Every structure is written in C-alpha cells, then in structure tokens.
Structure 1
C-alpha cells in the first residue's frame, strides 16, 4: 500500500519539531534538510513547513550532469551520491523551490530524502512522526482521496501538489483555510 507525505499547511504553529527530528534521521549527519518559514512575520505568526516535494520529474536530477541524484522506486528524490557528485551546484539552481543545499566543505549537495531508510519500510519520515498538529502526515493514497473530498471548496481548488511550478509531486499538500480566507484558531 503506497503512502505519501501530506502537508496541511494551515495547521503549522511554527514549533519546529520537524526540524529537530530531521537531524535525527539516519544518514543525515545531524544536518537539517527541512525548513520552517515565517510567511509574513511583520503581520502575523503564520508559518509553513518547507521541504523537498519529491517531484515526479525533478529539475534537480535533470540538471545533474553526473547523474548523482537518484530517484528511489517509491518516488523519493535522494540527495546526491557522494561518489558521483562533482559539486557543480546545477541542482541547487534548477530546483524551483530552492530546496537542495550545497555543503562547500564536503563539495556535496544535500536535501530531504524523505527518510528513505524509514519510508521504504512504511515507517513515517521523522518530521511526520513528531508533528504535534498533524501538519505533516504519512497517509495512504486512499486517505488522501478522502481528504480531497472533505475539503471541497466553492471554487473547486484543492492543492494536491504544486503543478504551477514543476508539475506533479510525490509530496501532497492542501491550503483549504488559506484558499477560503479562514482565520486560524490558534
């Protein structure tokens, strides 16, 4: 049964538990691979988690001349392979979301790999396993379909991926409260 990372953007309270958990994932060398952004810090406290969306046809992998960025059979786009990465940084420039980061000391790109050591076995990624507000959820595609039905909006818009920039993504999200103009209750 295929599972996906699902993000309810308007649930985020900015606690940054996902960031702390990310550094603890196996193979991350204590490096944070996710971000929490303040949407408009001068106006309110709205925050959103930002991580690799694991594009179906990722620009980072397409732009890599050394083919150092591999795509796992699950759809997870992995960090650059140490033995192949030539440090050109094409991937960091190509990503429309600004996700891959470059470590100058190691001459290597790194990014969220969807905790592939966990998710390949059906275990939620670290970020989703600790999120106290269910902003980040590891759900089945059946559960995703139910959520789409639950969030029927007047204008029919429900963000299931980020098609306006890179095309289909393996990480799904929605913005129902933001799209409907609802105010957060916390």
Structure 2
C-alpha cells in the first residue's frame, strides 16, 4: 500500500478549530490538545493557520533527549516522550525550531502531536485530518502529493512547500503548501 503523508494547505484554514477538538479525542491523548491554531495578524485579517508537529525526518527534539525518550515510528511519526524514560529535562522543548513540544509540569513529561499513531499505523487518517471541513489538513498518498505539486508548478511555475522553502529542520514528513500565503492571494472569507 502507498505511503501516506499529512498535507497542510495553510490558506484554506478558517479557524474553526475542529482539528483541536478532534485531537483531544485521539487515543492516548488523555483529552489533551496537541495541536494549535494561530491567528496570523488578528488586527488586519481573519487568516488562521494550524500548527502541529511536522515530524522531522531527523528531529531536533529526539536528538536533544539524553534519555532517548522520544521515539520515531516506522511511518515517520515522532512520538511524545515515553513516560518511563522521560526525565523532565525539557531539552526537547528548547531544541524544536518550531516550538511544538510542550511540557506538562504536573506529569513531568513532554507531549506533542504524534500523528495519531494509533490510527495512522493502520492507514487511518489522523483525527485532525478526518474532521477538517475545508481540507486544510489532508491525509494523502505520495502520488496525490506529487499531483498537487505538479498542479502548482503548472499554475505559477513554482512549488511553495515545506520541502522547498528551506525549512529550519531539513526534511519533514508533514508537507505544507504555502502558495496563497506567500503570494498574497486574497481569501473569500
């Protein structure tokens, strides 16, 4: 079966926060939200963008963990710290260039998006992508990703995405499309 990736079309986000509600319902999340929705410039626009772990191929959070508490799953998902290994040093929260891992002081444990590994390991879309009403978050095959890249190349001659815009942490398993935001496309909402 073809490998699937989480694909984010940032410009489609309407700030409904359905992804946040769904995240709390994912198995093992203990009703804790592991994703965020950020307002881009609330004084001038209603544009929002979802923020979640990009599941870096060589993640700084895992590299900085002295206890090896952060594991990388076979599908590329960078998992939250293992309870039995995390020593609460918070190196991972400092090392992440995207500011994604959060630290729970009460549990002395780092938590973050784990790409709903309990679902995605069985080829089921992550909760956030399964409920997004605007297709901002999509669970697609690599072939579908290539088709989207080709469509953007044909439309404007270039592809604006996380793997092509010099990301801070090299290659990521989550792909992001930015053409509307980077090119100043006006939204209808």
TM-score if structure 1 supplies the norm length?
0.97
Q: Which moved more, 1:150-159 or 1:174-183?
A: 150-159
Matched, 1:64 2:72: no
Shift of 1:185: 1.4
2:26 aligned partner? 25
The within-5 A match list for 1:34-53 is 34-53=35-54
The within-5 A match list for 1:83-94 is 83-94=84-95
Distance 1:46 1:181 in 2: 12
User: Which residue, out of 158, 164, 186, partners 2:167?
Assistant: 164
Distance 1:100 1:85 in 2: 13
1:114 aligned partner? 115
Runs (4+) of structure 1 exceeding 4 A deviation are none
The number of equivalent residue pairs is 186
Q: Which moved more, 1:153-162 or 1:137-146?
A: 153-162
Q: Which moved more, 1:64-73 or 1:148-157?
A: 148-157
Shift of 1:164: 2.6
Shift of 1:181: 1.8
Change (3 A) 1:133 1:8: same
Mark the runs of 5 or more structure 2 residues left unpaired by the alignment: none
Mark the runs of 5 or more structure 1 residues left unpaired by the alignment: none
Distance 2:159 2:152 in 1: 9
Query: Which secondary structure does the structure 2 equivalent of 1:68 belong to?
Result: coil
Shift of 1:158: 1.7
2:177 aligned partner? 174
TM-score if structure 2 supplies the norm length?
0.96
Distance 1:101 1:163 in 2: 24
2:132 aligned partner? 131
Distance 2:92 2:181 in 1: 30
Can you list the C-alpha shifts for 1:111-130, whole angstroms capped at 9, x where unaligned?
00000000000000000000
Q: Is the 8 A contact 2:152 2:158 kept in 1?
A: no
Query: Which secondary structure does the structure 2 equivalent of 1:178 belong to?
Result: helix
Distance 1:130 1:95 in 2: 27
Can you list the C-alpha shifts for 1:56-78, whole angstroms capped at 9, x where unaligned?
00000000000000000110000
